[in-house]
Chain A
Amino acid sequence: MSTLIEELKVKIIDILNLQDVSPENFDENAQLVGGPLGIDSIDVLEMVVMVEKDYGVIINSQEVGEKVFYSLTSLAGYIEKGKSGSAS
């Protein structure tokens, strides 16, 4: 899980071009969307594409999305669950 979180930090900083954020100061429990990073609905959709492309986990409803993207930790948890779910 912690490896996944670290991996996600790097990916999200890259795809959302968060120039003033580094993996070290990216708080995995902080509010991700609508929080201090200025991440909005378009960024969420950008992350939806990344999660499906890189992890094969689909997020196609706003309701699910709101919970999943609450924080980096919740996102990593959903990906873990989704991956094991599709594997079984």
Chain B
Amino acid sequence: MYIAGVGIISPLGSGPAATQEALRANRSAIRPLDLFTVGHGKPLPVGQVDGLNEPSPLPRTHQLAYIAAMQAMSVCDRPPDAIILGTTTGGILTTEQLLREKVTDKESYRYHGLASVAEYIAGEFGCKGPALVVSTACSSGAVAIALARQMLLCGKAATVLVGGVDCLCRLTYFGFHSLQLVDQQGCRPLDRDRHGMAVAEGAAMLLLTTQKPARPLAELLGAGLSCDAYHPAAPHPEGRGALMAMQAALADAGLNPADIDYINLHGTGTPENDLAEAKAVNTLFAAPPPLSSIKGATGHSLAASGAIEAVVSTIAVSADILPANTGCRHPDPILGLLPLAGPISQRITAVLSNSFGFGGNNGSLAITRPDSFSPAASPSQFLTGLAIHGCSCFTGAGDTAATMALLAQGAPVSGLADLETIARNLPPRLIRRLKRLSRMTLSLAAGAVANSGLDDKPASVFMGTGWGALSETYDFLTALADSGDQFASPTDFVGSVHNGPAGQVAIMFGATGANITSSGGDFSFEQALLAADLLLADTGGKALVLGADEGHHVLAPLFDPSIAPHAALADGGGAFFLSRKREGAACLAHLPFYQSRTTEGCIDLLLESLGGAPTLKDRYALLLAGIPAAAREEGERQLAGFLKKSGLEVPVVRYREFTGEFASASAVAAVMAVSYLIKGKVPGKLVAGEDITLTGNTGSILVLGLGCSLSAMVFSRP
């Protein structure tokens, strides 16, 4: 798998050439923030990108992503098959300002969501395939690249534009400050006097191809993911997860530790991170190769950092340079590592690049000189769907049983899930710091595992959420603004990250495998299912796939285009405990189709992916249609087109009429499908007719996602 093109914009400059020059000069770009006002006190040192167009109709994150994407795509004259972006901030910098100005016009918030970054890039570059967003805090960029690698290996795409992006904003600037993780004197990774990170911004993109381009820059030979399952914000003290991620990347690449000639460390400059990472490196390498963290030069650009460092690793193998560990004057003897004091010109063949994040989320990448090693991983032949062993859901009606009972009466289940019901089975100590979304997610996870009746635990977690932890985000920003930018809650900051809930699930179950949170608006659950389908064979064992969103009285109506101002709120979600093993499974799930942008002829492609019109009639007994209110016209048009072309004459349930409007309503629809398959019948009142008996091959259920994107999930008997 080749790295055909790269793009990078960071505090060091724009473009691979400017970046290389800055690295050769061992220059640090960290300086006091001037992007926004910070109340009283001196601005903290940050990594800020100069030269963006301000003001712009687009948020800063979107602009940064576009610049990096333009550079990476300059080597290619056709759209990529798929786009995968790691981001945590989306349009939050703009949103922060709008909230302070008490703007209530929904249109102003249209670029808030993480999904909007990927959708924007997909639109600009004409990508018709999946446009996915990975949000695993500071490892997002690396995790996105690992997911892209798997998509290419499976043959689901031949070219993927992948990367990471984040912009400076009040949330991260004051958030990391409230955790006392910012070094007031600039960032000094691995130094004995290091005092923390410098929050930064930037973007980097890589064009990955399975076919060898004319001039490949490097190969992405392997990728490894893991989760500490230890603490929401602090790394495992022995670097357990870091070690697992590096080992997994080497195994995926078919390399030995001795093959690595340079390690690009995560090296944030916080005392705990650098110590944990050093322990992991010293455990894996008998004599560690040259290594450095570039965060003393760039700062820590959070979701972008994994991609920025993948591009820097690409520069290292293609331009023969090992970057310095800028900012470190006195290497900490306790770490037992000797970081590069200055840049070195040297021909190297293999780099390992580390990224770790909140939620204990870890990713490690092996990047090598083209054709230096024979790849270990061959295109695999899995992707045979997922075997569901247990499920659970929450809606305004309550838990799975309460929800299914109301639906069987043909009654709506919309509304806000009751918080007491949600927390009913969770230990008070475990959830005392958790707000609505995390509580709901933990409860869903526990419910799905219990429902399976298996004495087994998940190894990996895949979570989809359209809008993330709205309560924590709102509470953090409100307290900050109300105190004149002086006081912010560290607990809310840690809880505000999109992958907070999935990190909590990992801690609860000790799930140390891949842990991915996706955010794709109304298709967030579908993105999580896609990620699970791509990665499950890699991680083995069982997994949890979840989708959940919370109804927040202020933010939900502002952000979600389908929630009308002052409308009654609805929320909830669904969870599945699954594996690849069909034996004893309750039912099977597939995601045969997912296209982020609807195009002419996309209904034909959808039909084709389902095996063509003739097979449809013989297979399906029910169609659950997901049409978000904001895309009702388009969704109804697509549905009518699909029914006409397929000739399918089965009851159609527009499930949002029952669940209410929230981004991950499709997770509840999926639980409905599984529940009906287990019971062997669909309640007649749901379809305003007779009970539908589900038997054999003819009793499958199709769940379509319609509107701005198009997706199909298929649920069938094993």
Contacts and interface: CB of A to CB of B under 8 A. Distances in A.
B268 to A, nearest CB: 16
A49 B488 contact: yes
Interface in B185-240: 231-234
Nearest to B428: A19
Contacts of A49: 178, 487-490
A17 B433 contact: yes
A41 B233 CA distance: 10
A1 interface: no
Interface in A66-81: none
A42 B487 contact: no
Interface string A15-35: 011111000000000000000
A46 interface: yes
Contacts of B489: 46, 49
Nearest to B233: A42
Q: Chain B contact residues (Cβ within 8 angstroms of A): what range?
A: 10 to 19
B491 A46 contact: yes
B305 to A, nearest CB: 22
B500 to A, nearest CB: 12
Interface string A34-55: 0000101111011011001100
B433 A42 contact: yes
B428 A42 contact: no
A49 B483 CA distance: 11
B427 to A, nearest CB: 10
A60 B491 CA distance: 17
A22 B1 CA distance: 59
A45 B490 contact: yes
B275 to A, nearest CB: 14
A52 B487 CA distance: 9
A38 B432 CA distance: 10
Interface residues of A, number: 18
Contacts of A42: 179, 232-233, 433, 490-491, 494
Contacts of B483: 53
A45 B428 contact: no
Interface in B514-552: none
Interface in B391-450: 428-429, 432-433
B487 A53 contact: yes
Contacts of A17: 432-433
A11 B258 CA distance: 55
A49 B476 CA distance: 13
Nearest to A54: B487
Nearest to A62: B180
Contacts of A16: 432-433
B429 A38 contact: yes
A60 B41 CA distance: 14
A62 B234 CA distance: 15
Nearest to A45: B490
Contacts of A46: 489-491
A62 B222 CA distance: 39
Contacts of B488: 49
A19 B432 contact: yes
Given A53-B483, A53-B487, A45 B432 contact: no
B428 A20 contact: yes
Interface in B465-483: 483
Nearest to A19: B428
A18 B489 CA distance: 16
Interface string B280-293: 00000000000000
A17 B434 CA distance: 10
A48 B489 CA distance: 10
Nearest to A50: B487
- Specify which of B178, B488, B490 lies most central, judged by the most chain A CB atoms within 10 Å of its CB: B490
Contacts of B179: 42, 45
Nearest to A53: B487
A61 B433 CA distance: 23
B357 to A, nearest CB: 16
B490 to A, nearest CB: 4
B432 A18 contact: yes
Nearest to A52: B487
Nearest to B272: A41
A6 to B, nearest CB: 21
Interface string B224-261: 00000001111000000000000000000000000000
Contacts of B232: 42
Interface in B489-527: 489-491, 494
Contacts of B486: 53
Nearest to B494: A42
Nearest to B430: A38
A28 B428 CA distance: 22
Contacts of B487: 49, 52-53
B661 to A, nearest CB: 30
B379 to A, nearest CB: 44
A49 to B, nearest CB: 5
Interface of B: 178-180, 231-234, 428-429, 432-433, 483, 486-491, 494
Given A17-B432, A42-B179, A53-B483, 4 more contacts: A16-B432, A49-B487, A52-B487, A53-B487
5 cross-chain pairs, A with B, having the tightest CB-CB distances, nearest first: A45-B490, A17-B432, A19-B428, A53-B487, A46-B491
Interface of A: 16-20, 38, 40-43, 45-46, 48-49, 52-53, 60, 62
24 contacts: A16-B433, A19-B428, A19-B432, A20-B429, A42-B232, A42-B233, A42-B433, A42-B491, A42-B494, A43-B433, A43-B491, A45-B490, A46-B490, A46-B491, A48-B180, A49-B178, A49-B487, A49-B488, A49-B489, A49-B490, A52-B487, A53-B483, A53-B487, A62-B180
